Structure 1
Amino acid sequence: MITMILKYLWAQRKSNTLLFVELMFAGIFLFFILDTAISAYRTYRIPEGFNVERCYVLHFVAKDIDSVKALEVNEKVSQYLKGRPEIEGIAATFQSEPYSGSSVSTSCIVNGKELQVQLMEGDASFASILGIPILNGRWFTGAEVLQNSKVCLVNESLCATLNIPKMVGTEIALGANSTEKRRIVGIIPDVKTGSFEKVNPTVFTPLDLREMKYGWKTIVKVRKGMEDGFATTLKLLYGDIASSLGIEIRAVEDFETKKAIIDLSKSNMLSGMMWCTIFFLVNVFLGIYVVFSGRVKKRFQEIGIRMAIGASRKDIVRMVTGESLLLLVLSFIPVLLIAINLAYLDKLEPTYAVTAWRVAGEFCLTFIILALAVLASVLIPALKASKVNPAIVLHYE
């Protein structure tokens, strides 16, 4: 049967070449679209790694003060906020709070291996306020923040990428010149700064107090049911304390509201991507159906003759579907090569690691979808053709 099918495909090579090219391009585009859609959904569904419930961020801007003065001002603001009954806790950062929309990257070298990492920073309370769990080791202390100690925490992705154990004590080099050595004191889960961002290898360092003169951000966690009291605190902070300390509160943002807005925007993006994928799949199916069903209909007379000389209905269906599926298999050989090259050249959606399992899974899914489309396109006309009365066909001949 296979030999006969191959002979037929070769005999009709001119017309089959167009089908081969159509199936190949359909496979390439479908693979790329599925990869993008799956990557986007997977990235969106990965938890952020922290909890922003009842958390607010206050953006402070200092006016013509040095880092020492800024540190004093931050301490006074912190003591004031800690003294309010509705405040559960506070933490400080420069630009590493969730949903900030900004990030800092730097090079990291461990055991001779180098990669780009996302650099985040916070004070001693940052992890506890945002609910970042510590998998191994500890968070840095207040003394280490004040002394700008060369310690850090890394996430699981960094350990996996550099193939280092999830253990404290390892030294890493940060920066382009690789002179800044830091000792890992803790391991944290993968943390994202937004619901739609990919997980990056991340290094979390103590807040660089020298940056305080440019402004800083205070994350405030309010006790449950005491949001109204926090509004009063903000009013006092605006009216009296901020102006007397020579600082300005540029903005106050509710993390939960910010998260809801971003999640809605990203959900709309995912919905749009889903409908675009469905639209493409429908068009691919219609295109394949028109071409393959038309191909079968043109062979009604041939099918009638085959049945007249003894071919059964089952043989006809097997022959027609076998030819179409074999043509699909042949067209997917270049699709596989192109998919592997896209992965090797890092041209796939970079929201999560490109692995052999990812490429193989998406390639198989692409093949299954197109195989179902081809089967649906040929089975209906093939079954209809197998019902042709051979005597009518022979009489027509």
Structure 2
Amino acid sequence: MFKHLFKLIWKKKKSSFLMMLEIFVSFLILFAVWTLSFYNYRNYSKPSGIDHENVWAVFINFNTDNDSLKTIYRDLVRQKLKTYAEIEAFAFTSSNMPYSFSSSNSSMKYNGRETHPEFMSVDPTYPDVLKMKLTEGRWFTEGDKVNKIKPIVITQKMKDDLFGNDNALGKIIGEKDDRKQVIGVLRHFKFENDFQAETACMLEPLNGWHTDMLVRVKPGTTVETEAKLSKAIVQLGKDWSVEIQHLDNMKANKNRIIWVPILILLIVCGFLIFNVALGLFGVLFQTISRRKQEIGVRRAIGATKSHILWHFVGETAVITTFGIILGLFFAIQFPLLNVFDLDAFTYVMGIVLAIISIYVLVIACALFPSKQASEIYPAVALHEE
């Protein structure tokens, strides 16, 4: 039956060209939408590796450019924070803390391999604040700061980029005057947003000039404590300024930058697909109304209602197949050429989901007109013709 339908549609390809073109365009749109959606869903489903609940980001301006003074001021702040029973842990960090709009990266090489990790300078208490867990090695301590070779903790992505399947612990990277030794590996560390892919990142002991910090407070800590903490820090120095933000709010803002454009894209594509569905619905109704004589003859020679129904549905499915084949030619180029640096599985899933969506859409549009055609009586159809 399908061989007969393919021959039939191929002979009438000129009259079915516009419908094939609609299918082709719809397939490419759905391929793009599903690929983007699947990519972001996969990233979202992976653990972030950090606990952002009850964590405050404290931005302090010491109003000085002297690194030695900043070191002294940081110690003053540390001593003050230790007096608050509501504070569980705290750590100074570089400005590119999780969910911030700051970034710092550079190139790192090892035996011909290269990656561009995010650099973060943090206190040894950093994992206590964000409840981070290592899969390999250990975290650096205060004693590690005096080592000639700077200890670093890297993410699994950075390990894969530089060392492949080799053991990363103990490996030394960097230039001669700034050598770094890997002492720990983080499996997951999504510091930009929930939709972030696995990223190369390197955490090292805090240097002399960073003044931002993360503070973990006990659950239920009120805004009054936040206000008192801010006031207490400001009173430690002359012309200091403090701003406190909640990490969960910062995370929501960064997530919004990702999901709002995706939502708008889905709405726009939904309207486009809806218009295509209406067009297909109208074309099928018109096509069937022009073929009443053929339907009458088929019914007269013994075709049942189900035969007529599935014949028209089959024709629509064949036309859809031709449109999809044309779309596949373009879609398959994306994994082959490694466009946008996405893995092939994401593109394959986008193609599969687009194909399923197209067939569901088209068959749903074809069922009602085909059912109407199957209920035409032979005598009525031949009489009208």
Question: How far 1:124 moved relative to its partner?
Answer: 0.6
For 2:358 and 2:138, how far apart are their aligned partners in 1?
A: 51
1:199-252 C-alpha deviation (Å, 9 max, x unpaired): 342222224514x0xx4202222234454445323322212x121xxx623422
Secondary structure of the residue aligned to 1:27 is helix
For 2:226 and 2:383, how far apart are their aligned partners in 1?
A: 92
For 1:106 and 1:200, how far apart are their aligned partners in 2?
A: 17
User: Closer, same or farther in 2 for the Cα pair 1:376/1:47, shift >3 Å?
Assistant: same
8 A Cα contact 2:57 2:246, kept in partner: yes
Secondary structure of the residue aligned to 1:209 is coil
Q: Would you say 1:218 and 2:194 are equivalent positions?
A: no
Q: Would you say 1:238 and 2:230 are equivalent positions?
A: no
Secondary structure of the residue aligned to 2:332 is helix
Secondary structure of the residue aligned to 1:59 is strand
User: Closer, same or farther in 2 for the Cα pair 1:47/1:280, shift >3 Å?
Assistant: farther
8 A Cα contact 2:115 2:200, kept in partner: no
Quick check: 194-203 or 257-266, which moved more?
Answer: 257-266
1:46-69 C-alpha deviation (Å, 9 max, x unpaired): 443212232222222343443233
8 A Cα contact 2:59 2:212, kept in partner: yes
User: Closer, same or farther in 2 for the Cα pair 1:260/1:3, shift >3 Å?
Assistant: closer
For 2:230 and 2:148, how far apart are their aligned partners in 1?
A: 30
Quick check: 315-324 or 33-42, which moved more?
Answer: 33-42
8 A Cα contact 2:62 2:70, kept in partner: yes
For 1:180 and 1:343, how far apart are their aligned partners in 2?
A: 39
Q: Would you say 1:377 and 2:365 are equivalent positions?
A: yes
User: Closer, same or farther in 2 for the Cα pair 1:68/1:154, shift >3 Å?
Assistant: same
The correspondence of residues 1-397 of structure 1 with structure 2, limited to 5 A, is: 1-145=1-145, 147=147, 149-160=149-160, 164-165=164-165, 167-169=167-169, 171=171, 173=173, 181-210=179-208, 212=209, 215-227=210-222, 228-239=224-235, 241-243=236-238, 248-260=240-252, 271-345=263-337, 347=339, 354-397=342-385
Secondary structure of the residue aligned to 2:139 is coil
User: Closer, same or farther in 2 for the Cα pair 1:300/1:153, shift >3 Å?
Assistant: farther
Q: TM-score, normalised by structure 2?
A: 0.87
Equivalenced residues, count: 384
User: Closer, same or farther in 2 for the Cα pair 1:115/1:323, shift >3 Å?
Assistant: farther
1:26-47 C-alpha deviation (Å, 9 max, x unpaired): 1001111222233344444544
For 2:220 and 2:17, how far apart are their aligned partners in 1?
A: 69
For 2:268 and 2:364, how far apart are their aligned partners in 1?
A: 22
For 2:250 and 2:338, how far apart are their aligned partners in 1?
A: 32
8 A Cα contact 1:118 1:200, kept in partner: no
Question: How far 1:111 moved relative to its partner?
Answer: 4.0
In percent, how many aligned pairs have the same letter?
24
For 1:166 and 1:49, how far apart are their aligned partners in 2?
A: 23
8 A Cα contact 1:37 1:273, kept in partner: no
- Residue type of the partner of 1:186? G
Q: TM-score, normalised by structure 1?
A: 0.84
Question: How far 1:337 moved relative to its partner?
Answer: 2.6
Structure 1 gap segments, 5+ residues each: none
For 2:301 and 2:27, how far apart are their aligned partners in 1?
A: 38
Secondary structure of the residue aligned to 1:205 is strand
1:125-153 C-alpha deviation (Å, 9 max, x unpaired): 11111111111111111132355742222
User: Closer, same or farther in 2 for the Cα pair 1:274/1:157, shift >3 Å?
Assistant: same
User: Closer, same or farther in 2 for the Cα pair 1:2/1:226, shift >3 Å?
Assistant: closer
- Residue type of the partner of 1:30? L
Structure 2 gap segments, 5+ residues each: none
User: Closer, same or farther in 2 for the Cα pair 1:280/1:242, shift >3 Å?
Assistant: farther
Q: What is the root-mean-square deviation of aligned Cα atoms in Å?
A: 3.0
8 A Cα contact 1:96 1:122, kept in partner: no
User: Closer, same or farther in 2 for the Cα pair 1:260/1:328, shift >3 Å?
Assistant: closer
User: Closer, same or farther in 2 for the Cα pair 1:392/1:63, shift >3 Å?
Assistant: closer
8 A Cα contact 1:317 1:386, kept in partner: yes
Secondary structure of the residue aligned to 1:103 is coil
- Residue type of the partner of 2:357? I
- Residue type of the partner of 2:200? T
Secondary structure of the residue aligned to 2:134 is coil
For 2:170 and 2:327, how far apart are their aligned partners in 1?
A: 43
For 2:59 and 2:206, how far apart are their aligned partners in 1?
A: 17
1:262-319 C-alpha deviation (Å, 9 max, x unpaired): 5567665665455445434433322322223332332222222223234333332332
8 A Cα contact 2:48 2:194, kept in partner: no
For 1:291 and 1:115, how far apart are their aligned partners in 2?
A: 53
